[in-house]
Amino acid sequence: MLEAMTNAPQQPPAGWYPDPAGSGDERYWDGVAWSQSTRDKPVPDLAVIPPPAPVPAYASQPASAGSVPASFGWRLLGFFIDFIIIYFLGSFALNFSGVGTSLDGELTRWLRELSIWAEGTLADPLPMPSAGFWTALLLSSLLNIAVYAVYRTILLGTLSATVGQLAAGLRTVKVGDDASTMLGWGAATIRGVVGAILYQQMLIGFVNGIFAAFTRNRQTLSDMISKTQVIKIR
C-alpha cells in the first residue's frame, strides 16, 4: 500500500494528481492518503485550441533582416535627385523625337488664337486646342512615362538603386530580403513601370509618395504593388 503524504499542517485538497509511483497515470488523493484508484492522464482537446492568428497584410510584415527602412526625408532627397535627372532625360527625348517641338508649336498657335479672340468682341466661340495639340500632348506623356520607367527599371535591375538612392545611401530590396540581396529584374520592372505611371499623374504621384511617411515599412504604393521597400544602408 502506498504511503500517505506527510502530516503537514495543510494537505492538498482531494483530487486527481500525477501518480507518485511513476506510472504516468493519475492517482486519486482523498485529502489524507493516496487511494488505489487510478485513471489515464487526460489528453487536452485540440479542437478547442484556437487557430493561430492570420498573418497580417503584406505591408505590415517586418523589415528586411539586418536593415532599416529609409525615412521619408531620405526618400524625398533621393526622389528629387532622380526627378532632376529624369527631367533632363525627358527633355532630351522630347526634343530628339520632335514631339517637344510639335507640342510647343501647337501650344503657341492656340495661345495666339486665344489672344486674337480676347481682343475681339468675345462673341465668337472660344477657340479650343487643335487635334494636333492633343496628339502631341499624349505622345509627350507617353514618352515621359517611358523615360521614367526605363531609367528606374535599368538602375534597379542592375544596381538595386537609382542614382538618387545611391547618393542618399539607399537601396531597394524585396520585403524580407537582406540588404545584400539584388532586387531582380522582375520586381525592378514592376516597380519602374508602376512608379512611372503613378508619378505621371501629379495628384496620384503625390499620394503615392506621401505613403512612405505613414506606412510601417515606409512603403509607397508602388512599393506595395511590387512587394519592395527602400532601406538605409549607410
pLDDT at 175: 87
pTM: 0.63
What pLDDT score was predicted for residue 215?
A: 81
- At residue 154, φ and ψ (nearest 5 deg) are -65, -45
Q: What is the C-alpha separation between 18 and 22, in angstroms, rounded?
A: 8
* 165-205 confidence digits (pLDDT tens): 999 999 999 988 888 889 989 999 999 998 888 877 766 66
Give the three cell numbers for residue 225.
504593388
The C-alpha cell at 171 is 537601396
Burial class (CB in 10 A: 0-12, 13-18, 19+), 156: buried
| Cell, residue 46 | 485540440
Burial label for 9, CB within 10 Å (0-12, 13-18, 19+), is: exposed
The confidence score (pLDDT) of residue 200 equals 73
What is the per-residue pLDDT for 45? Answer: 61
Q: Delimit the domains of the chain by residue range.
A: 15-41, 70-232
Q: What share of the chain is helix, strand, coil (3-state, %, to 5)?
A: 50, 10, 35
Q: How far is it, in rounded angstroms, from Cα 207 to Cα 71?
A: 16
Q: What is the pLDDT of residue 12?
A: 78
CA atoms 71, 77, 81, 83: torsion sign: positive
E strands, the chain, are 15-18, 26-29, 34-39, 68-69, 170-174, 228-232
d(CA 122, CA 200): 35
Residues of the chain with pLDDT under 50: 1-6, 55-66
Angle formed by the axes of helices 131-159 and 99-119, nearest 10° = 140
Q: Write down the residue that cell numbers 545611401 correspond to.
A: 169
Q: How far apart are CA 95 and CA 207, in angstroms?
A: 30
